[in-house]
């Protein structure tokens, strides 16, 4: 459908006004909100994610596209609710306690939203209990932890341990990332997975939650 | 000696090419116009809103040992613990870009202006690091008044094994509240674009260490090499 391609293309250009206008136009033309979401916005963000991973575009380009995606989503949200379109899954993310660096975590959140996930972003300097309690309360099957400092990485282990202590290992997975974090560290602390960048995080989250 | 130091926003303004390099962006002449516009806008906001200031206080080795002591770690387990005993002079510092710049960043991000907020955050982080470097240069110049060519570097809690909990005794010793910087329960500073630590001045060799600490294996930034090189190479 041409208008969905145009939405995806405008999103890739980071043109938020055009995305908003085309989304409204598509809705008015009777295109289902779920279809606009998947074949317009998510399709556009998928291309952006691939281009970013291939280093063809840069982080600010991704953020401009993300703003365009939100402009489209704002129009879609009430319609999605009416159509009963479910998002792909709920993910709780945050930078661990003692760490105020959140640009990487923000990017993961943006990419996850772009891939159709519901993201609960707890911000930075988040205590282990808050991660786990939020996941329990929101029935989120995944917690994403970010740390930039070697001195705050141990907090990741505390979250994994807390998940285990509360008997949630089967229902809540933990994925970790951030500049000093690697796969060995993730294994060592008992995390379920590790992602080296935002685009990979989306792939790993999909795999962990078993969604296509 | 204790002093409050003020800088102009021009002094903490990041250079264009280093700023682009740090973000992994192309050089200015190859940068897409829309990205160049973001960078220019962020630099203009920095110039308008940054209020760089610092508090610096000379300390003896014994006084700094007392700052590390509450951490209950052997000093040689930290880079700063290995370096400071060799120093000619030491000073504690806390510096900030003020509240207006982080407030603008928050506002942009809350507004959904993600790219603009991200770029201003990157500019402010770079400027805060420059503030540390400016203080180190200033400290080296003061200590080298006799012409003995001392080199100074900043060492900060949160990096190279110095736990963020080290902020608490540092703040207790320096009392930086008069420049408006506070600590929260997790030892994070507010305003958020603030930096703190120890200025270490000494002959270039003072700053040389072997990066063989346990935490070095987890470090992917490897910034210690260029840092050491920056003071070991001749002026």
What integer pLDDT is reported at residue B219 of this predicted model?
Answer: 78
Interface of B with A in 194-213 (CB under 8 A): none
Which helix (H) or strand (E) segment holds residue A59: the answer is helix A59-83
> Which residues, 6 or more positions from A136, have their beta carbon under 8 angstroms from its beta carbon?
A166, A168, A172
- Say yes or no: domain B2-232 is CATH 3.40.109.40: yes
What integer pLDDT is reported at residue A80 of this predicted model?
Answer: 83
Nearest alpha-carbon partner for B131 in B3, B9, B4: B9
d(CA A7, CA A42): 10
Cβ-based burial of B60 (10 A; exposed 0-12, middle 13-18, buried ≥19): exposed
Partner-chain residue, chosen from A60, A61, A152, that has the shortest CB–CB distance to B164: A152
Residues of A with CB under 8 A from a CB of B: 14, 58-61, 63-64, 66-67, 70, 97-98, 100, 103, 106, 110, 125, 149-153, 179-182, 185
Q: Chain A to chain B, count of Cβ pairs less than 8 Å apart?
A: 77
Q: Per the CB < 8 Å rule, is B118 touching A149?
A: no
Residues from chain B contacting residue A110 (CB–CB below 8 Å): 114
State whether residue B49 sits within 8 Å of chain A by CB: no
Quote the pTM value: 0.85
Choosing among B40, B186, B211, which should be mutated to test the A contact, i.e. which has the most A CBs within 10 A?
B186
What integer pLDDT is reported at residue B147 of this predicted model?
Answer: 63
Q: Per the CB < 8 Å rule, is A60 touching B119?
A: yes
Nearest alpha-carbon partner for A143 in A89, A185, A98, A181: A89
What integer pLDDT is reported at residue A180 of this predicted model?
Answer: 80
Q: Per the CB < 8 Å rule, is A151 touching B113?
A: no
> Which residues, 6 or more positions from A37, have their beta carbon under 8 angstroms from its beta carbon?
A73, A76, A80, A85, A116
Choosing among B32, B73, B115, B213, which should be mutated to test the A contact, i.e. which has the most A CBs within 10 A?
B115
Between the alpha carbon of residue B123 and those of residues B23, B24, B45, B49, B180, the distances in Å are 10, 13, 9, 12, 21
pLDDT confidence bin for A84, thresholds 50/70/90: confident
> Which residues, 6 or more positions from B171, have their beta carbon under 8 angstroms from its beta carbon?
B94, B183, B196
Q: By CA distance, what is A185's nearest residue in B?
A: B218
ipTM of predicted assembly, 2 dp:
0.82
Which helix (H) or strand (E) segment holds residue A120: the answer is strand A118-121
pLDDT confidence bin for B29, thresholds 50/70/90: very high
Q: What is the pLDDT of residues B172-231, one digit of tens each?
A: 999 999 999 999 988 889 999 999 999 999 999 999 999 989 888 877 778 888 888 888
Average pLDDT over residues B50-79: 95
d(CA B232, CA B14): 24
d(CA A37, CA A118): 13
Interface of B with A in 62-121 (CB under 8 A): 109, 112-115, 118-119, 121
Residues from chain A contacting residue B42 (CB–CB below 8 Å): none
Which residue ranges make up each domain of chain B?
A: 2-232
Residues from chain A contacting residue B215 (CB–CB below 8 Å): 150-151
Q: Which two tokens stand for residue A38?
A: 């998947």
Residues from chain A contacting residue B224 (CB–CB below 8 Å): none
User: What is the 8-class DSSP label of residue B13?
Assistant: P
Q: What is the pLDDT of residues A22-43, one digit of tens each?
A: 999 999 999 999 999 989 998 9
d(CA A173, CA A170): 7
Terminal-residue alpha carbon distance, chain B: 27
Nearest alpha-carbon partner for B96 in B41, B135, B138, B44: B135
A35 SS3 class: helix
Instruction: Transcribe A139-166 into DSSP letters.
Output: T-SEEEEE---TTTTHHHHHHHHHHHHT
The answer to whether residue B233 scores a pLDDT higher than 70 is yes
> Which residues, 6 or more positions from A1, have their beta carbon under 8 angstroms from its beta carbon?
A31, A35, A39
CB neighbours of residue A137 within 10 Å: 10
Q: What is the pLDDT of residues A141-150, one digit of tens each?
A: 999 999 988 8
- Do B39 and B46 touch, CB atoms closer than 8 A? no
Partner-chain residue, chosen from B121, B157, B188, that has the shortest CB–CB distance to A103: B121
d(CA A87, CA A125): 27
């Amino acid at each position: 459908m041409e208008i969905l391609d145009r939405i995806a293309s405008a999103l890739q250009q980071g043109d938020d006004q055009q995305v908003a206008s085309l989304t409204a136009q598509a809705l008015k033309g009777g295109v289902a909100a779920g279809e606009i979401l998947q074949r317009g916005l998510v399709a556009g963000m998928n291309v952006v994610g691939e281009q970013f991973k291939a280093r063809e575009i840069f982080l600010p380009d991704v953020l401009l596209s993300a703003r365009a995606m939100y402009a489209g989503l704002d129009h879609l949200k009430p319609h999605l609710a009416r159509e009963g379109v479910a998002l792909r899954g709920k993910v709780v993310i945050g930078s661990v306690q003692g760490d105020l660096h959140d640009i990487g975590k923000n990017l993961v959140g943006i990419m996850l939203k772009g891939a159709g996930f519901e993201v609960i972003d707890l911000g930075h300097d988040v205590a282990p209990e808050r991660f786990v309690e939020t996941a329990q309360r929101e029935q989120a099957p995944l917690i994403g932890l970010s740390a930039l400092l070697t001195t705050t990485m141990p907090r990741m282990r505390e979250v994994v341990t807390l998940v285990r202590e509360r008997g949630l290992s089967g229902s809540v997975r933990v994925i970790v990332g951030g500049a000093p974090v690697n796969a060995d560290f993730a294994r060592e602390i008992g995390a379920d997975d590790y992602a080296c960048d935002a685009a990979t995080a989306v792939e790993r989250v999909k795999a962990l939650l078993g969604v296509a | 000696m204790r002093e409050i130091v003020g800088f102009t926003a021009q002094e903490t303004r990041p250079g264009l090419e280093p700023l682009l390099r740090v973000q992994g962006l192309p050089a200015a002449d190859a940068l897409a116009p829309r990205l160049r516009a973001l960078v220019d806008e962020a630099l203009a906001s920095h110039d308008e809103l940054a209020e760089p200031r610092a508090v610096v206080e000379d300390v003896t080795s014994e006084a700094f040992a007392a700052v590390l002591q509450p951490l209950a770690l052997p000093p040689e387990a930290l880079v700063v613990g290995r370096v400071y005993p060799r120093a000619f002079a030491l000073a504690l510092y806390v510096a900030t870009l003020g509240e207006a710049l982080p407030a603008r960043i928050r506002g942009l991000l809350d507004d959904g202006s993600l790219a603009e907020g991200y770029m201003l955050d990157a500019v402010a982080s770079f400027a805060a690091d420059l503030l540390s470097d400016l203080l180190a240069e200033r400290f080296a110049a003061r200590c080298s008044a006799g012409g003995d060519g001392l080199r100074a570097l900043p060492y900060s809690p949160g990096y190279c094994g110095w736990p963020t909990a080290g902020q608490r005794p540092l703040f207790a010793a320096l009392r930086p509240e008069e420049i408006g910087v506070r600590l929260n329960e997790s030892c994070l500073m507010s305003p958020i674009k603030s930096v703190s630590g120890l200025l270490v001045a000494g002959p270039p060799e003072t700053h040389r260490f072997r990066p063989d600490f346990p935490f070095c294996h987890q470090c992917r930034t490897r910034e210690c090499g260029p840092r050491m090189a920056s003071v070991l190479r001749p002026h």
